[in-house]
Structure formats: structure tokens, C-alpha cells
Amino acid sequence: MAFELPKLGYEYAALEPHIDARTMEIHYTKHHQAYINNLNNAIAGTDMENRTLAELMTGVSKLPVAVRNNGGGHFNHTLFWTVMTPNGGGLPKGDLLDAINRYFGSFDKFKEQFSNAGMTRFGSGWAWLIKAGDDLKITSTPNQDNPLMDLAETKGTPILGVDVWEHAYYLKYQNRRNEYLAAFWNVVNWEEAGRRFK
């Protein structure tokens, strides 16, 4: 089964002014689509075609680098679109908020550490909030790696992720990654993050 571009749950302009429509359209229709096309090419005619995306991720250290890069790209962007919403922002709820308070001291301290993980990722990559056993952790990965990958330095289940490749913010924020990361909090879909935490 070839992988396909998942439907976006909102319009390209829906996250304005925090993420502009042009960035959304290029990011989704060009970048994400290219990862999917390249992934499909990399697995065509092999037994990798019978594996789920999650299975490819957890065994990626033994697979071709094109699967790591493009499978990661597909997984990460698929997650990214769902953890944002036009009605986002505010505070997480219930168990997730409790866990964040417990592990990071407060929601503000969590935000600060997560933003810092995004700011200090040199080059292209992602910052993550993950569940690792009973722990919540903040981590970051280079390029299109993610914490599900068996080769990740810090492994776990992604709860929230933010893309800090320059293509995610350059048209609107240029060199100001800090402003993009500040704006991200206005569109975070905490309901979705909460589901991923369960």
C-alpha cells in the first residue's frame, strides 16, 4: 500500500496570523507530498510495503536512509498538522495538564523548556514533548528523525511536535525562529495532544 497525503483538518488560512496560508499550502502540498513520494519510491517492490509507518519508524536503523528521511518526514508532518488547530492555544486539560505540572513545575516552565528545545536545535529538525514510560520529556531530533525511531537518542511516544526546519516559518518569520515558536502556542491543539498522551 502506497502512503498518501492525509487530509488537512482545516483551511490553509485557518491558522492565520500565526502561520500564514502560503506557508501552510507549500508546506503541506510540496514538502509533505515530496516526503510521501520519496518514501513510496524507497519502499516500492520491497517487503517494507507491507509495514505500517510506525513499524518502519521503530525499525528504521536497519532500513535505507531514504526511509529514515522520508518516512520520518511523512510521520512528523502528519502529526504536526493534527497538533495544530484554528481553535487552539490555551491550556492542556486533565491528566496531561497534571502531568506537565508535575514534571516541569508549571505550564509556563514547560513552555519555556519546549521553546528552548526548538531554539537550540541547530540546523533542521523538530522539538518534541514525549511520553517515555511514566515520564514526560522534552527532546529534539535532527532533520526528519523522531522519538519513535529506534536510533533516536531519547525515545518515546510523541505528544506534541513542532517543525523547526526553516521552511516551516521562513516566509513569515525569516530568521526569527523565536517569534514562530512563540506564535505556535496560539494554535496548539491540546485536545489532540491529550489524546496522544492517553
Q: What is the DSSP string of 40-62?
A: HHHHTTSGGGGS-HHHHHHTGGG
Distance CA 74, CA 80 (A): 10
Contacting another protein within 26-45 (CB under 8 A): 26, 30-31, 34
The grid cell for 71 is 518516512
Helix, strand or coil, per DSSP, at residue 161: strand
Q: How far is CA 161 from the centre of its chain?
A: 4
Residue choice 40, 78, 124, 186 for contact with another protein (CB under 8 A): 124
Does position 169 bind Fe ion by CB under 5 A? no
Judged by beta carbon, residue 125 or residue 147, the one nearer another protein is: 125
Residue choice 45, 47, 133, 175 for contact with another protein (CB under 8 A): 175
The grid cell for 122 is 541547530
Does position 126 bind Fe ion by CB under 5 A? no
In whole angstroms, the minimum distance from the beta carbon of 100 to another protein comes to 29
Residues that bind Fe ion (CB under 5 A): 163, 165, 168
